[in-house]
Amino acid sequence: MIKNRLKEMRKKHNFTLEKKKKMTGIKRGTYSNYENGNTEPKIETWQKLANFYGVSVPYIQGIEPKLSAKDILKKIIPELHKEYFDNYLLLNGELPKDSFSISPSTTTTLNRLIDVKGIKKKPIDFYSKDDKQFILNPEIKKYWFDLLIPFVKGMYNNGWIFDDYISINTLMHFIDFKVTEQESKKNKMSILENYLVELHYFAFDEPLHHLMNTSIKYSDFETAKKNFDKYFSFLKEVKDKVFSKSEAEVLKEAFESRLRIEERYNDEILIKKIENQVNNGDTKLARFLVETLDNWDSAYKKYMSK
Give the pLDDT confidence of 141-162 residue by residue, as tens digits: 999 999 999 998 888 766 566 5
* pLDDT of 109 over the 80 cut: yes
Amino acid 119: pLDDT: 93
Query: Measured between alpha carbons, how far apart are the two ends of the chain, in Å?
Result: 53
Amino acid 203: pLDDT: 43
Where does the chain have alpha helices with state H? 6-12, 17-24, 28-36, 43-53, 57-61, 69-91, 104-116, 138-157, 168-184, 191-198, 205-218, 221-241, 247-262, 268-279, 283-291, 296-304
* pLDDT of 113 over the 50 cut: yes
pLDDT digits (tens, 9 = 90+) for 224-253: 888 788 878 877 887 887 788 888 888 888
What CATH number does domain 6-61 carry, 1.10.260, 1.10.760, 1.10.15, 1.25.40?
A: 1.10.260
Residue 292 per-residue DSSP state: B
- Nearest Cα to 61, choosing from 165, 163, 157, 166? 163
Q: Quick one: average pLDDT of 26-43? A: 88
Q: Do residues 192 and 287 make contact, with C-beta atoms less than 8 angstroms apart?
A: no
Residues of the chain with CATH 1.10.260: 6-61
Model confidence at 42, in pLDDT bands (50, 70, 90)?
A: confident
71: phi then psi, degrees, rounded to nearest 5:
-70, -35
Amino acid 200: pLDDT: 52
pLDDT digits (tens, 9 = 90+) for 159-209: 566 567 788 888 888 888 778 766 655 456 677 766 666 555 544 455 566
* pLDDT of 121 over the 90 cut: yes
The maximal CA–CA distance of the chain, rounded, in angstroms, is 67
- Predicted TM-score (pTM) of the model is 0.48
Which are the contacts of 167, defined by CB distance < 8 A and separation ≥ 6? none
Q: Is 42 helix (H, G, I), strand (E, B) or coil?
A: coil
**Mean of the per-residue pLDDT values of the chain:** 81
Q: Quick one: average pLDDT of 73-77? A: 93
**Angstrom distance (rounded) from CA 159 to CA 137:** 31
Using CB atoms within 10 Å of the CB of residue 251, give its burial: 0 to 12 exposed, 13 to 18 middle, 19+ buried: buried
**Angstrom distance (rounded) from CA 83 to CA 107:** 8
* pLDDT of 117 over the 50 cut: yes
* pLDDT of 20 over the 80 cut: no
**Angstrom distance (rounded) from CA 216 to CA 211:** 9
Amino acid 282: pLDDT: 94
Q: How far is CA 166 from the centre of its chain?
A: 9
- Nearest Cα to 144, choosing from 159, 126, 132? 126
Q: Is 162 helix (H, G, I), strand (E, B) or coil?
A: strand
Which are the contacts of 10, defined by CB distance < 8 A and separation ≥ 6? 17, 20, 35
Model confidence at 279, in pLDDT bands (50, 70, 90)?
A: very high
**Angstrom distance (rounded) from CA 306 to CA 242:** 32
Q: Quick one: average pLDDT of 264-292? A: 88
